[in-house]
Amino acid sequence: MKKYRLGEFQELVLMTVIVLQEDAYGVEIQRNLEERLNERLSVGAIQTALKRMVEKGFLTSAFGEATQKRGGKRKRIYQATPYAHRVLHEMKDIRSSLWQAMPDLGLSST
Partner 1 sequence: MSGTNNYIIPPKWPLKFLRFLLKEEYLEEIEGDMEERFRDNLELFSANKARRLYAWDTLKLLRPTLMRGLRGYYRVNHTAMLKSYFTVAWRNLLKQKAYSTLNIMGLCLGIACVLLIAIHLNDELSYESSFPKHECIYRVSFEGWAKSAPPMAEILAEFYPEIQQTARFYYMYPRILRYKEFQSEEDHGYMADSTAFSVFDFKLVQGDPQQIFRTPHSMVVTESMARKYFGDENPLGKVLMNNSTEFQVTGVVEDLPSNTHLRINFLVSMATFYKDIPENMTDSRGWMATYTYALFNEQKDVKKARERLPELLLDYYKEWGTPEEILAKMNWTFMPLDDIHLHSSLIQEMGPNSDIIYIYVFAAIGLFILLIASINFINIFTTQSLKRMKEVGIRRAIGAKKNQLLGQFLGEAFMVTLMASTLAILLFTLVLPFYNQLAGKQIVASQAFSVDNLLIIVGIILTVGLLSGLYPAFFVSGFSPLKALAGAKKPRSSAGIMRKGLLVFQFVVAVFMVVSTLVVYQQMQYFHDKKLGFDKDQVVAVNLFGDLKQKFAENGAALKAELIQSLNISHIGTASNLPGDGLSVESVVPDGVPEDNELPTVKVLRVDENYLSTLQIELKEGRNFSRQFNDSAAFIINETAAKLLNIDDPVGSYVTNQTRNLHGPIVGVIKDYHFSSLHNPMEPLVLEYNPNWNNFLLVKLQGGKIPETISGLEANIQKIVPNYLFNYQFLDDRINLLYQDEAKMSTLFKFFALFAIMIACLGLFGLSAHASEIRTKEVAIRKAIGATITQVVQLLSREFIVLVMIGNLVAWPLAWWAMNQWLDNFTYHVAIHWGVFAVASGLSLLVALLTVSYHAIKTALANPVDSLRNE
Q: Residue 63, by phi and psi: left (phi above 0), alpha (psi -120 to 50) or beta? A: beta
- Is residue 22 close enough to count as binding partner 1 by CB under 8 A? no
Q: Percent helix, strand, coil in the chain (nearest 5)? A: 60, 15, 25
Question: In whole angstroms, how close is the CB of 49 to partner 1 at the nearest point?
Answer: 9
With binding defined as CB under 8 A, does residue 5 bind partner 1? no
79 binds partner 1 (CB under 8 A): no
Of 51 and 85, nearer to partner 1 (C-beta) is 51
- What binding mask, one character per residue, do residues 27-66 give for partner 1 by CB under 8 A, x or -? x--xx----------xxxx-xx--xx-------------x
74 binds partner 1 (CB under 8 A): yes
| DSSP line for 43-85 | HHHHHHHHHHHHHTTSEEEEEEEE-GGGTTPEEEEEEE-HHHH
Distance CA(63)–CA(106), nearest Å, equals: 50
The least distance separating partner 1 from the CB of residue 10, rounded to whole angstroms, comes to 11
CB 61 within 8 A of CB 78: yes
Residues within the interface to partner 1 (CB under 8 A) = 25-27, 30-31, 42-45, 47-48, 51-52, 66-67, 69-71, 73-76
